[in-house]
A and B are shown apart, each in its own frame.
Chain A
Amino acid sequence: MNSSSRTLTIRSIFFLLPSWFLLLIFFIGPILLTFYFSFTNLALTGAQAQQMQFVGFDNFVTMFQDANFRISVVKTILFLLLSAIIGQQLLGFLLAFLMKEKNTTFRRIIGIIVIAGWVTPEIVVAFCWVAFLNDNGTLNAIIHALGMDGVTWLYTFPLISVCIANIWHGTAFSMLVFQASLDDVPKSIEEAAKMDGASKLQILFRLIVPIVKGSIVTNMILVTLQTLGVFTLIYAMTGGGPGTATQTLPIFMYNQAFVNYQLGYGTAISLVLLLIGVVASLFYIRSMKVQV
């Protein structure tokens, strides 16, 4: 390394220092603190709020023996599969695919409708859906008007209800990602395939999907991480109930930390949630054999 490039390196390190400093305080610090708290019995009230103790892996042992934790993992995976993978991802792709090569006005109208869901804040989405699915909500009003008996949607089909709300909220994101990548598929290749007698399905699965594989994986990772963190929507719609019907891991974590006052246990659950996100992302990358 010659002297001028060394000066440049030192200078750039110097300029980067403030951002490193900020990252350390506001990002790495809290993560390390969470990591530390998850090995303690820190509580929100009671003696342990003042004098927490290091309890080793106790929180994790308790967690894996807790039937409610297992239920929450199952609910989280179901919520993820139904609302993120099947719902947002597939629906988003389908919408983008159907809108491909349609005229601009058509694309714009559909686009605005779908994006309306995306720009609406999560808490507003929750209230809209509660207003729609409530016992005295719009859907039951329509059903009554047709002369039939209403259904207590949020209590009879709670998981499906929150999944639909999450799909409604998040599909636009997938659609936008896929729209951008589908536009990149060269028209000439598609036309060549058509000339060779490929059917529409063959073009889709053997040509377009392999080309946009990278976007699919990226989107899958983003949508998964977003959905794993969904709290407001479920909490406002069902509070994680009835019983444990919609108790996903974030809700379970909140309940342990702020309802049962066990902050240490709550942070341990959040670490597991983080781990699930990492494992799922690695799984997608491996299974689709793409480089990110």
Chain B
Amino acid sequence: MKKWILSGFCMLFLIFLSACSNNEPSSSDSTNEKDSEKTEKSEISITFRTGGGTNQGLINWLNDTVIPKFNEEHPDVTVNLVPLEVSEGDYFAKVSLLLQSEDSAPDIVTEDTFMVNSDASAGYLEPLDDRIEAWEGWGEITDTVKKGVTAEDGSIYGVPYNTDTRGLWYNKELLKEAGITIPWEPANWEDVLNAAIAVKETFGDEVVPLWMNSGKATGEATSMQTFEMLLYGTDDPLYDFDEEKWIVKSDGLLSAFQFIDNVYESELGPNLSQVLNGQGSSIAYQELMPNNKLAIGLDGMWQTGNWHENGPAPWPEFEETLGYAAMPTENGQEPGSTSMSGGWALSIPAKSDNKDMAWAFIKMASTPEMNLDLQLNDRNITPFQSASEDSAYQELPFFEEATSFVETTNFRPAVDKYPNVSTVIQTLVEQVVTDAITPEQAVEQYQKQVTDIVGADKTIER
């Protein structure tokens, strides 16, 4: 019996040992390992967000233009696209998780510029200063856009590939039928509401008068396309750069929440089941607008990317049917209109195992010619001065309007805590829209929650 126990124990011990062992390669394996290391090194992966037609322009550009060109110079290198099929709100959390580990970090990641500072402070991104210094292409990029990829520590963490502006898309035919003069040039917020009211009176439930992203599920789009487009049209921004403090109480905050509340109280907005949805933006610009079911939409210029022949919802008549008006300031005060600009950049994760090849890829993709090709697909504003002078680019529909909004545009505060404040905004906007709280309560909660996040010494009241 004892023998049995002893031999059983030995077996167990052996199993345990083999399970814990490191699988050290024997000498004959080492050549194989070197080979596999070589193959590993000749692969780079790119992570970006997709789903519901998102970034189709970027994908087409990568597949049809950049990767073939890159492979001409580096035939041994395989470029893997690793898209994340998630809602906008989830993308940044997923990216943060991916970048934490060497096993999951891609070699290139597309970063929304509002996350660059925060991800850089977390140590997720590789500073590119030395590489950029040795690269003549950097001088081609306009200076304002460079700010978006420069973190608080003064280092650069990405190469921008687009920027954008936001305004009011409107359906000329619907507005004309509702008795509004075309071209529509609203002078203040009241004009916007009145136009929506006129549409409602003319078409009833057939047409959604005014679409603004309003839920947590649409993430940053709710903060930027809706709340900040309103807030920056008042006299109070989010952040006071002179004092380096967050403005946690102001008339502007109340006005912005009140406007949103007004739209839904007066039933000028879409059905809540449509707008409080991760797919909200696709519903508005791929389903409703091309079918003449949406009169006005407060959103970015990239939405035209939906409607061209290779887009997810081709709509040949969009150029004649639509107009793009500047978002007015609250009471029409100086400078009369407002916009927000952001943009995306190609960054290298700190834990990428193939940084040199990734940089070679980014350099090659970031030339005026390559970027022009991207904008013709993706329909955003190019950060390259010389590309913006190209006639094909200037002839893009609504390019002229969208670029004119740059004159009065604003940028999000590029400080560490912005992403956290942004999620507070998204939650409060959704709560106002669903009548869980009043605009006054939203302002109170904004003050409390933002103070909790940034600390009382970093806040001021106006």
Contact = CB atoms under 8 A, between A and B. Distances in A.
Interface of A: 11, 15, 18, 43-47, 49-50, 62, 67-68, 135, 152, 154-155, 239-245, 255, 258-262
B436 A261 contact: no
Given A45-B115, A46-B417, A259-B216, A242 B430 contact: yes
A264 B307 CA distance: 43
A15 B8 CA distance: 11
A46 B122 contact: yes
Contact of A258 (B5, B93, B121, B431): B93
B93 A245 contact: no
B436 A45 contact: no
Q: Give the interface size bracket for B toward A.
A: 35 or more
Given A45-B119, A244-B436, A67 B445 contact: yes
Contact of A243 (B93, B273, B417, B436): B436
B92 A45 contact: yes
A239 to B, nearest CB: 6
Contact of B273 (A44, A135, A261): A135
B222 to A, nearest CB: 12
A241 B122 contact: no
A242 B272 contact: yes
B96 A45 contact: yes
A239 B121 contact: no
22 contacts: A11-B5, A45-B121, A45-B122, A46-B416, A50-B121, A50-B122, A67-B445, A135-B271, A155-B271, A155-B276, A239-B276, A241-B215, A241-B434, A242-B430, A242-B433, A243-B430, A245-B436, A258-B90, A259-B423, A260-B423, A260-B424, A262-B420
B452 interface: yes
B430 A241 contact: yes
Given A45-B419, A259-B216, 18 more contacts: A45-B119, A46-B121, A46-B419, A46-B420, A47-B416, A49-B96, A49-B123, A50-B123, A154-B273, A239-B216, A239-B278, A242-B272, A243-B433, A245-B434, A245-B436, A259-B89, A259-B90, A260-B420
Nearest to A265: B452
B353 to A, nearest CB: 20
A155 B119 contact: no
Contacts of A44: 93, 96-97, 122
Given A239-B217, A243-B431, A46 B272 contact: no
Contacts of B445: 67
B246 interface: no
A44 B94 CA distance: 10
A244 B437 CA distance: 10
Interface string B11-46: 010001000000000000000000000000000000
A45 B272 contact: no
Contacts of A244: 431, 436
